[in-house]
A and B are shown apart, each in its own frame.
Chain A
Amino acid sequence: MAIFYILLLFMIIGAIIAVETRDLLSSVICIGAIGFGASLMFLFLKAPDIAITQIVVEVLGLVILIRATISRDLTFISGDKEFFGTVVSVVIIFMIFLIGARVFEALPDFGAPVFAKAPDAASREYVADGMEKTGAANVVASVILDFRAYDTLGEATVLFTSILGATVILRKRSKKLLEDPDQ
């Protein structure tokens, strides 16, 4: 259990550095370190699927995306934070904390599955009969691609739509059309 507190401390320190540093690239690398800590945490909780996705998306994807897209002369952030904005965000975070403290009482223990507290949860059936009903040895694959494939379809649709929008906005011809509407 102590390893989780060490990882949590590491992630909090990384988050503070990521917020406070002036260099955009090192801030992004700090976010990658937070993702790495979360991935280790998932690994210790025996969830290797989530750990792989976390490390691939947050560490590799984010850092590579930022490295490939930001230009070298725009990496420094300037400008001070406003006092009013800081106060508002602190108040909002405190209210979320107050509401969340009530929710945490209803959660199962850290690392325990949901059906430890809710006996009729659907996940009990997924874990018990997943292999028999779908034939997949990996329970996670049987859940995301068989029992809850609608979720995956929705996720794929969201990804498809966002990439469609990104390519339409960012392609070369649209920029030319913006500059010269007659063509």
Chain B
Amino acid sequence: MKGMSVIVKTVSSWVKVLIFLFGIYIILFGHLTPGGGFAGGVVLASSYVLLMLAFGREFVEKDLPLALDSKLDCLGAFAFAVIAILGFVFGGTFFVNFLYQKYLPGDPWALVSAGTIPLSNIAIGLKVGASLFLVIFCLSVFRREGADVSE
């Protein structure tokens, strides 16, 4: 899979930025507008998968190495667990929204509001995006290796 034609490469190199920005928007505004960590993470992953389909696997592996990708995955899961444990430490209950209830009661429609919910959204988005890209990448590697025995 060395990539597609010049038209696809040009268009996807422009569109990938917009898709990535849209994913970030969905994650960051998940507590105000429809969306959230899961949907935004899938959008983030799909921007990289678009690059992988258009330019080939080696290009994406240079841009986002697999080691970094799995580290991002673990970081997202770890951050979500840390938020939960911090709720236990500061609020007394696992997963309690301690930031909103004690320290940062923002306006309901502001970007910085709702305490730990935006932070959890970011953690989930990072986790879902990195892991979905990782599994699609691994499946495509496996299919390539399976198809090409001589390599």
Known: A134-B117, A145-B121, A163-B131. A49 touches B34 (CB 8 A): yes
CA distance A3 to B43 in the complex (A): 28
- Other-chain contact of A135, B34, B81, B106 (Cβ < 8 Å): B106
Please, what's the 1-or-0 string for A140-182, where 1 marks a CB less than 8 Å from any CB in chain B? 1110111001101100110110110011001110010000000
Please tell me if B70 contacts chain A, counting CB pairs below 8 Å. Answer: yes
CA distance A167 to B133 in the complex (A): 11
Known: A52-B26, A64-B136, A153-B80. A71 touches B42 (CB 8 A): no
Selecting from A6-14, A54-62, A97-105, A106-114, the interface stretch reads A54-62
Please tell me if A68 contacts chain B, counting CB pairs below 8 Å. Answer: yes
B12 to nearest A CB, angstroms? Answer: 12
B74 to nearest A CB, angstroms? Answer: 8
Residues of chain B contacted by A135 (CB below 8 angstroms): 97, 100, 105-106, 108, 113-115, 117
Q: How many residues on chain B are close to A (CB under 8 Å)?
A: 56
| Contact B39 A134, beta carbon cutoff 8 Å | no
CA distance A47 to B70 in the complex (A): 33
Residues of chain B contacted by A160 (CB below 8 angstroms): 73, 77, 127, 131
Residues of chain A contacted by B127 (CB below 8 angstroms): 156, 159-160
Please tell me if B86 contacts chain A, counting CB pairs below 8 Å. Answer: no
Please, what's the 1-or-0 string for B31-53, where 1 marks a CB less than 8 Å from any CB in chain A? 11111111100110010011011
Residues of chain B contacted by A153 (CB below 8 angstroms): 80-81, 84, 95
Please tell me if A67 contacts chain B, counting CB pairs below 8 Å. Answer: yes
Interface hub of A136, A144, A160, A172 (most chain B Cβ within 10 A): A136
| Contact A137 B42, beta carbon cutoff 8 Å | no
| Contact A170 B142, beta carbon cutoff 8 Å | yes
Please tell me if A53 contacts chain B, counting CB pairs below 8 Å. Answer: yes
CA distance A157 to B50 in the complex (A): 26
| Contact B124 A52, beta carbon cutoff 8 Å | no
Residues of chain A contacted by B68 (CB below 8 angstroms): none
Residues of chain A contacted by B141 (CB below 8 angstroms): 170-172
Please, what's the 1-or-0 string for B96-114, where 1 marks a CB less than 8 Å from any CB in chain A? 0100100001101100011
30 contacts between A and B (CB under 8 A): A49-B34, A52-B35, A60-B42, A61-B42, A64-B46, A68-B49, A68-B53, A70-B143, A71-B147, A134-B97, A134-B115, A135-B97, A135-B113, A135-B115, A136-B31, A137-B32, A138-B36, A141-B30, A141-B117, A144-B36, A145-B117, A146-B117, A149-B120, A156-B80, A159-B128, A162-B135, A163-B131, A166-B139, A170-B142, A171-B141
Residues of B within 8 A of A (CB): 26, 30-39, 42-43, 46, 49-50, 52-53, 70, 73, 77, 80-81, 84, 94-95, 97, 100, 105-106, 108-109, 113-117, 120-121, 124, 127-128, 131-132, 134-136, 138-143, 145-147
- Kindly list the 10 A-B residue pairs having the minimum CB-CB distance in the complex, ordered from nearest: A48-B34, A136-B114, A149-B95, A69-B139, A135-B114, A136-B31, A170-B138, A163-B131, A170-B142, A141-B31
